[in-house]
Structure 1
């Protein structure tokens, strides 16, 4: 079991480590690559998974609601923890609420549970991503227009993929192959970019970073375990939900905090230490889920 867990996690952290080393030595500007990834490659990955004729969204409705419960529950418990510790809720709640289900969650799901796990993993990513770009942005700036979320390419790809899948439209095979090839670029690029991004973060608040790094997976796994008692899920989706709960804070939290001037250095500490702490928490989730 230990060897299997190591074999699952090693490619993820190896690519991230390469990105970190390259980031430290060469300091590459990945702004254009990251924009391409978010605007082209990730939407292609999402569309390719959802537009599959074997994908039926109704089969994943229990998982969709379970994921929604975990994300919202994490936000509520994060808010309670922030109030109890005297921390600004806008600083602590987003990193607790929104995890790294893109950079780590998607590749981890495929490596741990096979290609068939991509579709349910995309459903979880879809829920978290939609909430992050809508409620997450509104939480930091109440003047933001929630209608702008539909301009996000991954959200548009989600809507298009669901529409094609529900309508039963079969995309021309060569076109679907091209879309999937574009989507295949996204996962290694996300991991590499994550490593580079971590070199730009600074540990400004070690104590807060450690608290956030522990609270995120502990709250997530506890909520996932509780939700599984109430929502009937297939065995693979139960394992995916548990791993989803254990994922570290999303790097996007730091980008949002910087954009909206919400103590970015503190959020960077939570994100940086949280992703390092994933080395301890993800093996526990995989051991319980496999």
Structure 2
């Protein structure tokens, strides 16, 4: 069972490790436009191509969107209550503990474990989390909500385009699908390289709060997986989509939370520690989910 989990995960780990090594030895990954290229070109192309190739219907897409939105809402409510009871600042930790790293880690992990048939659901689920980062994340950390951010959210726009194409039963010509396939093809390896770069460049400050940080690091994937399990049962989802949702919700703290904390003067050192500390807990949770719920 463990080998069945580790072998598909090995390419994910190796590419991320390569990104960490390259970030220390070269400046190849230092261009900030790489992340923008993936977010604005690669991920939207991957989303549209995967949804159209999978031929998912609007009902299936709507169920995925509603299920992930419900899961994030429940996680946020539980997290808010926990922060309130423990007198920890909601501004600093609500978004950090709610939004998982479904993008540059979750999508490759789902693809590695469940194959191409799970790619479209994984990207749809990730698009919901991307929206959450730029709504819940930005508004909580900055103290204000910027609706204009959503107009520049390319994964959300790609999701809308996909819904229109599916709803009106428009089939793209073969050359267009091939173009989308090529553009989306660079997304997963570059996302993993950038993840490795981010982890390799994190700087952990001195902290006397390691016990609290370890508890938070365990909380992120475990509560995410438990809430996702409940939501999949409430929505009556198919086994593949259910496991995809649970894996995505069990991902560690997102790197974008570190970026937002830097921009809005959040607890940068704590979030850097959480990104690293929550990773092994997340992988252990995903391994357990894969053993218990694998549809294969």
* Offset of residue 46 of structure 1: 1.5
| Aligned partner of 1:227 among 215, 231, 239 | 231
Take 1:21 and 1:277, find their aligned partners in 2: how far apart are those partners? 23
Query: Which residue matches 2:276?
Result: 272
Take 1:230 and 1:120, find their aligned partners in 2: how far apart are those partners? 18
- For residue 169 of structure 1, give the secondary structure of its aligned residue in structure 2: coil
CA contact (8 A) 1:68 1:127 kept: yes
Question: 1:203-218 maps to which residues of 2 (within 5 A)?
Answer: 203-204=204-205, 205=207, 206-218=210-222
Query: Which residue matches 2:264?
Result: 260
Take 1:6 and 1:207, find their aligned partners in 2: how far apart are those partners? 29
* Offset of residue 52 of structure 1: 4.0
Asked if 1:20 is matched to 2:1, the reply is: no
Question: 1:45-124 maps to which residues of 2 (within 5 A)?
Answer: 45-52=46-53, 54-124=55-125
Runs of 5+ unmatched residues, structure 1:
none
Query: Which residue matches 2:292?
Result: 288
Q: How many residues align?
A: 290
- For residue 168 of structure 1, give the secondary structure of its aligned residue in structure 2: coil
Cα shift readout 1:85-105 (whole Å, capped 9, x = no counterpart) = 332112211121111111122
Take 1:173 and 1:7, find their aligned partners in 2: how far apart are those partners? 34
* Alpha-carbon spacing, 1:201–1:140, altered in 2? closer, same or farther (3 Å): same
Take 2:62 and 2:72, find their aligned partners in 1: how far apart are those partners? 15
Cα shift readout 1:104-141 (whole Å, capped 9, x = no counterpart) = 22122222222111121122112211222122211222
Asked if 1:251 is matched to 2:251, the reply is: no
Q: Return the TM-score normalized by structure 1.
A: 0.93
CA contact (8 A) 1:208 1:270 kept: no
* Offset of residue 244 of structure 1: 1.9
| Aligned partner of 2:245 among 216, 241, 247 | 241
Take 1:213 and 1:30, find their aligned partners in 2: how far apart are those partners? 29
- For residue 143 of structure 2, give the secondary structure of its aligned residue in structure 1: coil
Take 1:101 and 1:154, find their aligned partners in 2: how far apart are those partners? 13
Runs of 5+ unmatched residues, structure 2:
none
* Alpha-carbon spacing, 1:82–1:202, altered in 2? closer, same or farther (3 Å): farther
* Alpha-carbon spacing, 1:135–1:169, altered in 2? closer, same or farther (3 Å): same
Take 2:108 and 2:93, find their aligned partners in 1: how far apart are those partners? 26
* Alpha-carbon spacing, 1:270–1:208, altered in 2? closer, same or farther (3 Å): farther
CA contact (8 A) 1:53 1:165 kept: no
CA contact (8 A) 2:45 2:183 kept: yes
CA RMSD of aligned residues (A): 1.8
Take 2:31 and 2:80, find their aligned partners in 1: how far apart are those partners? 33
Q: Return the TM-score normalized by structure 2.
A: 0.91
- For residue 281 of structure 2, give the secondary structure of its aligned residue in structure 1: helix
Take 2:25 and 2:124, find their aligned partners in 1: how far apart are those partners? 37
Take 1:77 and 1:110, find their aligned partners in 2: how far apart are those partners? 29
Take 2:102 and 2:171, find their aligned partners in 1: how far apart are those partners? 28
Query: Which residue matches 1:7?
Result: 7
Take 2:82 and 2:151, find their aligned partners in 1: how far apart are those partners? 32
